[in-house]
Amino acid sequence: MKDLFDLQGKRALITGSTRGIGLLLANGLAEYGAEVIINGTNREKALAVAEELKQKGFKAHAVPFDVTNKEEIEKNIALIEQEIGPIDILVNNAGIQRRHPILEFPEQDWDDIINTNQKAVFLMIQAVGKYMVQRRAGKIINIGSMQSELGRDTITPYAASKGAVKMITRGACVELARYNIQVNGIAPGYFKTELTQPLVDNQQFTQWLCQRTPANRWGNPDELIGSAVFLASKASDFVNGHLLFVDGGMLAAV
């Protein structure tokens, strides 16, 4: 039972892993033994990040592609499967944020958010899922958010996309569990990353957040690693369709 969390011999593709939460998760999964595949749209950055991981002694590759582009997804997933090896763990992490009041929200921003945060999760599950089904094994982890459950000023499209991530997780679980594929999600509370930098810098927001969160603080991104290792490993083989909130208790509190 001691190897329940061991990821030796497993290969993980983490979308959007050139910085922020994705990079943290890539490091975390690698620490537990996984070979990791770094992704983002910025090719040079992905190559540099994979190189840094290799310097640390981890097995890492860079496969940059745009997760909103079905053709690019299919081409690159086939390339990984054939030239690097089977994807055992897929972490759908790539995501973007745009903020505008709902009545003024530009249509293009809505499309970009939905395409990146929602449709890409679906397309990635289709592309990687078909290989996992053949092998009758796979772990899929979708990154949700507090906005999978809660609304907030100026980010309605983001909340819509993250609510959908919850339901894609459940739907994919229902259809893929019979093939020994576990599809779960992690819903981070508020973590300090580039994406949330404008909020971190906003004193008023930070004060509100600390009062609103039972833990009274921002989350540190490395506090997400345990959940990712759990959902990527044998330890979670009968956990399916679940969205694990890592939020310092925020969702539990009014």
Binding stretches for ligand NDP (CB under 6 A):
15-22, 39-42, 45, 66-68, 93-96, 116, 143, 145, 188, 190-191, 193-196
Handedness of CA 83, 87, 88, 91 (dihedral sign): positive
In terms of CB distance, is 72 or 175 closer to ligand NDP?
Answer: 72
In terms of CB distance, is 193 or 206 closer to ligand NDP?
Answer: 193
CB of 179 to ligand NDP, least distance (A): 25
In terms of CB distance, is 145 or 227 closer to ligand NDP?
Answer: 145
The residue type found at 13 is: L
Of the residues 32, 131, 158, 190, only one is catalytic, namely 158
What b/e string do you get for 98-134 counting C-beta neighbours within 10 Å, with b at 16 or more? eeeeeeebeeebbeebbbbbbbbbbbbbebbbebbbe
CB of 82 to ligand NDP, least distance (A): 21
State the burial class of residue 205 (Cβ atoms within 10 Å of its Cβ: 0-12, 13-18, 19+): middle
CA–CA distance, 151 with 149 (Å, rounded to integer): 7
Q: Annotated catalytic, 158? A: yes
CB of 18 to ligand NDP, least distance (A): 4
The neighbour count for residue 137, using CB atoms within 10 Å, is 14
Locate all alpha helices (DSSP H) within 80-155, ordered by sequence. Answer: 107-113, 120-135
Contact between 139 and 90 under an 8 Å Cβ cutoff? The reply is yes
In terms of CB distance, is 134 or 197 closer to ligand NDP?
Answer: 197
CB of 4 to ligand NDP, least distance (A): 26
**Catalytic positions, written as ranges:** 158
